[in-house]
Amino acid sequence: MSVTGTDHPRVLRSALLVDFDNVYIGLKRLDPAAAEAFATNPGHWLDELAQGADTDGAVTRRFLVRACYLNPSVYARYRPNFTRAGFRVVDCPSLTQQGKSSADINLVLDAVDALAAPTRYDEFVIVSADADFTPLAQRCRADDRRVTIITASPAASAYRSVADSVVGADALADLVTQTASPLDVDAAPAAPEPEAATAPTARAADDAPSPAPTPAATEATTSAAAPAGEPATQAAATTTTASDSRARRAVRRHVRTADRPVPLGAVAQVALAADPTLSAGGWGGAGGFAGWLTRSLPDLAVSTRPPGHVWDPRRFGEADLPGAVADTDPTELQKQVIAVTDTPGLSQEHYRVLLERLADDLAEHPFERVGTSRRVHEACQQAGAKVGRSTVNFVLSGVLYTGLSLTEPRTARELASAWADNVIGLCRGARMELTAGDAAAIRAWVGGGLADS
């Protein structure tokens, strides 16, 4: 892994391996516009992926290998887009009567070759939700390489767990469709006004709690106002502001690309990796990391309830925090399902509310990933059900993954049956041994009592 200096992000030599068919099909179920954006403008999301952050701070990726594996008999029309973006496009035609392509084996062979290559690749980015790549990810980790997986549909917990970082389906859809990256926007607090200094900062998110009052950007204003006769002081203030800005950018990237709220300690590590002087300097006068975070990044939401979490309020809320949806004591079977599949731990009653509100929304509005998720989340809150935005997204992805189209109205019973089928599939994919009674109990639970047995 090469390092370019303290004032610049680390540079990762990365190998990018794209299972096109898997990603395109997954995105098309979730958001057709995102699927087309992924397929027709790979240069855009490639540029977005080139900038990122991990627990060691900000990183820049150099994609030394760019490979796209697609079935030419179905997706040949997208080949020129990837060729133009610098990808090596590998034809993977169907070799079986079932129509399965050879993308998996071609991708694995290329990855193994890259592991043995004279060039040491710091990171392997696997763009696929196919859990068959779990052994490949384990092999990369065993060789001390970072593994990032990017999925466009629900992925097995074991596959997600073996990766160093995960970009989920909703984050990927946002990544490929946005016209300007939010990851590098470093919105400094507004200049102070005598009467408005204690007014809370407005947020455009549905789930966001009101942040603490935001002080003025004292470092920047102090630097700008330094007398001309004190160049050393001015230079020091400028340096402090620059390093603080690096920390803000690194934290913002890390939190906004996470697929769930991030533990407070992990975010503090990201900030310190970008600017090791922060803790020695009392976190810029804030007295602690939580205070610095609230002051410097008012667009992020923070909970200091142990162990503490940070999240992007545009995608998550307090109901998405671990344990926040435990509105009932789960059975041992339910605990196992939650642990091995990441299925949200709602009660049967709250699952029923969610599924019924989703059915109501589909009857009144055309399905649109972001809008539907927002409205259903709000309707659940109004009904008194503590259902997080990420939980709504998880259920939507699961329903769509079963093949049930949401472009037309659906009854709550249809939605419940599809969602229950998805959860049962996740359990069996995780090698849980389910009796007929276990499967019926799971269906009754996650289906809110609505699913067919």
| pLDDT value, residue 217 | 33
Angstrom CA distances, 15 to 60, 64, 105, stand at: 13, 6, 16
41: number of Cβ within 10 Å: 15
Say how far apart CA 397 and CA 414 lie, in whole Å.
15
Residue 350: its pLDDT value, please?
A: 93
Q: What is the mean pLDDT of each run of 10 residues along the chain (453 residues)?
A: 53 95 93 94 91 71 95 93 95 72 91 96 95 94 94 86 88 78 41 36 37 35 38 44 74 80 86 82 83 90 85 78 61 89 89 96 94 93 88 92 92 96 91 92 94 74
Identify the CA nearest to 274 among candidates 20, 10, 1, 64: 10
What confidence score (pLDDT) does residue 251 get? Answer: 87
AA letter at 96:
T
Length in residues, the chain? 453
pLDDT value, residue 27: 93
- pLDDT value of position 249: 84
Q: What is the largest CA-CA distance in the chain?
A: 82
pLDDT (0 to 100) of residue 55: 61
User: Do 324 and 388 meet the contact criterion of CB atoms below 8 Å apart?
Assistant: yes
Beta strand residue intervals within 295-340, DSSP E: 301-303, 309-311
Say how far apart CA 292 and CA 296 lie, in whole Å.
6
In which region does residue 282 sit, left (phi positive, over 0), alpha (psi from -120 to 50) or beta (all else)? left
How far apart (Å, rounded) are the C-alpha atoms in residues 357 and 369? 15
Residues 6+ apart with CB under 8 A from 227: none
* pLDDT for the residue 53: 67
Q: Which of the 8 DSSP states describes residue 321?
A: S
